[in-house]
Each structure stands twice: as structure tokens, then as C-alpha cells.
Amino acid sequence: MKIISLILTLFWFASSIEDFRATHVFMIGDSTMANKPERNLPEYGWGQVLNHFFTDAIVVDNHAKNGRSSKSFIDEGSWEKVITQVQKGDYVIIQFGHNDQKSDTARYTGPFDTYQDNLKRFINETKEKGGIPILCTSIVRRLFNENGTLRDSHGDYLTGVKQVANETGVYFIDMEAKTRKLVESMGQEKSKQLYLFFESGIYPHRPEGKEDNTHLSQLGAFTIAGLAVEEMKALDIPLVKQLVEK
């Protein structure tokens, strides 16, 4: 009887392992969030480093891509690849806007029509699969005015996201406001550390150097991912139960 009991216990344990699936955090958005290949270093996206904040019970599956708007992300089939994988209890972090402003027909969306429609589609289809959407505004561009404050380079797209968040009642992180506060507090010179600023001759694969007020350094990616995590904690999103203790 003891042998049979042991066999049954082992069988149950093996079945439980097979049934276990880590919670997935799918990320959809643009280049400020995307994973960067080695040829792009020292550029990072904040979604690229988010996994470092969580235990192995969370899998961060970053589908953000350079140059994508909410429209082009759908049209090229990237959203279909994501939503077919979403299961009950998974999260989908949504951050578009940078490229929805672009004038080309492949990417442009109106801030109060197509843009909002696309965001609602991401939200509704995630909910239909039992997933949990987290809606974000775009991170701020490092574009200082003469008075030391940052220009608003996203305009109505920020309002558009906030309206959708209010209408749908989903978790909402105002990444633009969070990053604006941080960058302004650091000032014009120190804030360059967060963005892609490096001199010529440092990186053999990028010999020309770079001064980029939109995309992030490794420090910037970790810092901004940390801001997102802080806001998740403030919102008491269940996901934060799996944060790595520091």
C-alpha cells in the first residue's frame, strides 16, 4: 500500500508540474519599450529590462517593436500573434502614441478616433481572453524649453489614452507624467544619462555617436521600468506580489 501511495503521490506531483504555467506579461508598444539587438547597443527599451524586477513566476514577453503605431502593430499581424497567446490571468501592457503621430498612412491615427479605437480593441480582446490590460501613456521626450521645463510633444494623444482608461476602467499608468517629473528634476545635463547620448568613436558598430532625446540608455531603461513598477505597486496590481525583494 505504501508503494502504491508513493506512486500516486509522484504521479500527482508530476501532473501538477505539467499544469503549472507562469503568469505572462505581454508588452506591446514602440521602440521606447522594445528589446534591442546587440547592433543597437547601448540603446535599450524599458520593456527589455522589466523581467529583472520579477521572480521566475513571471515571464515578460516583450512584443514592442521599433517604429510601430497602434495601427501598424495591428495591420502587420503583431497583435494577432500576441492575443492568441494570452491566457487567463496574464497581463498586457499597452503603450503607443509616439508613432501614431506620424503623418504616413501606414502609422497615423487620429487621437480621438482610430487611436482610441485601437486601444479599446487591445483592452477588450485581452479581457475576452481573461487577461488584465494595463494602459500607459508614452514616456516623455527630452525636449527642454528655455525655462527648464519639458515641451509637450504628445498633445492630444495623452488625452486620448486617459479618456480610454477612464471609459474602460482598466489599470492606467501615466508614464508621461512620471518620466516628465523625473527628467525635469534631473535637469538638462544630468538627464542625458537616461537617453541615448554618446560621443563618436566609443562604439565600433556606431562610430558616429548619438544625441537622441527619445530613446533610452541602459540606465534610462532600468530607471523608467522602475517607475512603472512603482506605479504598479501604488495601484496594488496583483502582479507586484511577484516582485524580487531588494
Cell 535637469 locates to 187
Cell readout for 89 is 490571468
128 given a catalytic annotation: no
Positive or negative, the CA dihedral 161, 79, 82, 53 is negative
Find all residues with CB under 8 Å of 74, minimum gap 6, and list them: 118, 121
E strand residue ranges, the chain: 23-29, 58-62, 91-95, 132-136, 171-173, 195-198, 210-216
Catalytic residue among 31, 69, 138, 153: 31
Catalytic residue among 154, 215, 217, 231: 215
Distance, CA of 138 to CA of 145 (rounded, Å): 19
The long-range contacts involving 243-246, CB below 8 angstroms and separated by at least 24 positions, are 243/53, 243/54, 243/55, 244/52, 244/53, 244/54, 244/55
CB 131 within 8 A of CB 88: yes
In degrees, rounded to 5, the angle at the alpha carbon of residue 107 between the alpha carbons of residues 101 and 113 is: 65
CB-facing half-sphere around the CA of 180: CA atoms within 13 A: 15
**Residue 5: enclosing H or E segment and its boundaries?**
helix 2-19
Catalytic residue among 76, 128, 167, 211: 211
- Mapped onto helix, strand or coil, the DSSP state of residue 72 is helix
231 given a catalytic annotation: no
Residues labelled catalytic:
31, 211, 215
